[in-house]
Amino acid sequence: MNDVQIVIPTGDGRIYYDMTGTGSPCNGCSACCRHFRVSFYQGELDTQPGGLVPADMTTQITPFRACMKGTESGYDRCIALQPDGLCSIYEHRPSVCREFPVFLADGSLNPECVRLRIMHGIPAWEPNRETAEHATQRATVTEPL
């Protein structure tokens, strides 16, 4: 996959993003997976009908919400984050991970990504010509969920 961010409308008004493209700024970053509390509605757990997120990798934080282990207090790495910086449950990751864009609608890098990269000592992302063209086009690349 060469696209740096695939935009996936969910059909219920939400937008998911896939950043597994080879030119993605997420390659070598994973700052968001080491910073936020990754919490979500417990209906997303694989113990619930239609749920995908492995429940044994989560902590229940309220009667209705769970979060990825390791992120309960924030500022620590998610249990699903592998040493190589990839997510071990990418196809089953929570919606909150799917909804965090690396590019905004105008093609600019998400300011939160810029902030987190600085905070975690990750060099600023510089697109090469190919990825810059893909980034500009990214809002038009869609796949049905």
Query: Under the rule (CB under 6 A), what is the footprint of ligand SF4?
Result: 19, 25-26, 29-33, 38, 68, 78, 80-81, 87, 89, 93, 97, 100, 102, 110, 113, 116
Say which residue the tokens 């699903």 belong to: 80
Measured from the CB of residue 130, what is the shortest distance to ligand SF4 in angstroms? Answer: 18
Residue 113 or 135 having the CB closest to ligand SF4: 113
Residue 59 or 110 having the CB closest to ligand SF4: 110
Measured from the CB of residue 13, what is the shortest distance to ligand SF4 in angstroms? Answer: 21
Q: Please give the sequence-ordered ranges of beta strands (E in DSSP) within the chain, or none if there are none.
A: 6-9, 15-18, 39-41, 58-60, 65-68
d(CA 15, CA 21): 17
Residue 122 or 133 having the CB closest to ligand SF4: 122
Signed CA dihedral, 138, 113, 89, 9: sign only:
negative
Measured from the CB of residue 89, what is the shortest distance to ligand SF4 in angstroms? Answer: 6
Measured from the CB of residue 3, what is the shortest distance to ligand SF4 in angstroms? Answer: 14
Measured from the CB of residue 84, what is the shortest distance to ligand SF4 in angstroms? Answer: 11
Q: Are 95 and 12 in contact (CB under 8 A)?
A: no
The CA angle 118-124-129, to the nearest 5 degrees, is 160
Q: Are 57 and 79 in contact (CB under 8 A)?
A: yes
